[in-house]
Structure 1
Amino acid sequence: MCGTNTTNPSVPASASSGGGCCGPARNAGPQRQSEPSAGATVSEYLVDGMTCGGCASSVSGALAKLDGVSDVQIALVPRGASKVTVYSAAPLPERAVHAAVSEAGYRFAGRS
């Protein structure tokens, strides 16, 4: 998980909970990929296990690969469930979101 992917430059790897490889605890704040499309479907999910910007980047990248996704924003909570907001052209099947999060190495904790 942590440290296995490149870090999003907008969220430094040092912004973490101190879990294993990440350094001192700090909230990395929201992470944006791009501006959401007007009229996009907005879905909010909770994901456990993210501790740094690299973790958030892994989840964001996995979700961005789903058909119709235009933006992913993550409010990193290093010692809890992080809020993941996904903007898409149409509602996403929860099963697909769960699979993408799991494949990235994190625990899908349901809808926010």
Structure 2
Amino acid sequence: MSTTTAYSVAGMTCNHCVASVTEEIGLIAGAENVSVDLVKGGTSRVTVTSADALDRTLVAAAVEEAGYQLVAAA
């Protein structure tokens, strides 16, 4: 059974941002699907489906690696 969790990410402005965040989160073990609802210049919603709940610190680190900031659970 999969788990779906939504996160709020600040700073994304374009499709390249979406691709970077999607790629970095997708590298986390157990991540199965990442979708982004882009809000240019605002807080975007990133929804992650995974085999089990992901460690929030790993998700935050992945988002930061992509150059953005995890602000709160959506």
TM-score tier by shorter-chain length is over 0.9
Partner deviation per Cα, 1:74-95 (whole Å, 9 max, x = no partner): 0000021000000000000100
Structure 2 letter corresponding to 1:59: V
Give the corresponding residue for 2:9.
47
Count residues with an aligned counterpart: 74
Secondary structure (helix, strand or coil) at the match of 1:66 reads coil
Rounded to whole Å, the distance in 1 between the matches of 2:65 and 2:20 is 10
Bigger radius of gyration among the two: 1
Report matched runs for 1:18-29 at 5 Å.
none
| Structure with larger RCO (C-alpha < 8 A, sep 6+) | 2
More helix by share: 2
Partner deviation per Cα, 1:8-67 (whole Å, 9 max, x = no partner): xxxxxxxxxxxxxxxxxxxxxxxxxxxxxxx31000000011100000000000000000
Asked if 1:107 is matched to 2:69, the reply is yes
With structure 1 as the length reference, what TM-score do the two structures score? 0.65
Where does structure 1 lack aligned partners over 5 or more consecutive residues? 1-38
With structure 2 as the length reference, what TM-score do the two structures score? 0.97
Give the corresponding residue for 1:15.
none
What CA RMSD, in Å, does the superposition of the two structures yield over aligned residues?
0.6
Rounded to whole Å, the distance in 1 between the matches of 2:72 and 2:52 is 18
Where does structure 2 lack aligned partners over 5 or more consecutive residues? none
Q: Which stretches of structure 1, 4 residues or more, deviate above 6 A after TM superposition? A: none
